[in-house]
Amino acid sequence: MVAVGVLLEAPDPATLSSAGWTAMTYLTAVPMAACYLCWFAALRRLPPATASMATLLTPLVGVVAAAVALGEPFGAREALALALTLGGVSLAIQQRV
């Protein structure tokens, strides 16, 4: 991804402020570390196919977190989309059991 971004976007790292570099470093290290810890904990407890299906719930967490933390709009369309996503993941997990 980084190689494709560098080839297609021609970034200029000098334009990024020190706060930007700090934020990028933090976002690279802390949330990714938490994600990997959670992923490997899930793999210890669940079969890999079941654990990987649970990653499909990421959009659900993101939309709800954005609505709560950032005040993003959350209406009937978003609720329906999340319900369909949750229903699809539930069906997929039930078929694996």
Neighbours of 71 (CB within 10 A): 8
Q: Is the pLDDT of residue 39 over 70?
A: yes
Q: Is the pLDDT of residue 2 over 80?
A: no
Q: Are residues 22 and 40 in the same domain?
A: yes
24, two tokens: 């990028």
Answer yes or no: are the C-beta atoms of 84 and 60 closer than 8 Å.
no
Please give the pLDDT value at position 58. Answer: 84
> What percent of the chain clears pLDDT 70, i.e. is strictly above it?
98
The overall longest dimension of the chain from CA atoms, in Å, is: 52
Answer yes or no: are the C-beta atoms of 82 and 63 closer than 8 Å.
yes
Q: Is the pLDDT of residue 84 over 80?
A: yes
Q: What is the DSSP string of 26-66?
A: HHHHHHHHHHHHHHHHHHHHS-HHHHHHHGGGHHHHHHHHH
Please give the pLDDT value at position 90. Answer: 86
Task: Identify the domain containing residue 31 by its residue range.
Answer: 17-46
Q: Are residues 76 and 89 in the same domain?
A: yes
Q: Are residues 51 and 97 in the same domain?
A: yes
72 in any annotated domain: yes
Q: Are residues 23 and 55 in the same domain?
A: no
Q: Are residues 67 and 94 in the same domain?
A: yes
Answer yes or no: are the C-beta atoms of 66 and 72 closer than 8 Å.
yes
d(CA 3, CA 42): 30
pLDDT tens across 42-83, in order?
A: 899 988 887 887 788 888 888 999 999 999 999 999 999 999
The pTM of this model reads: 0.56
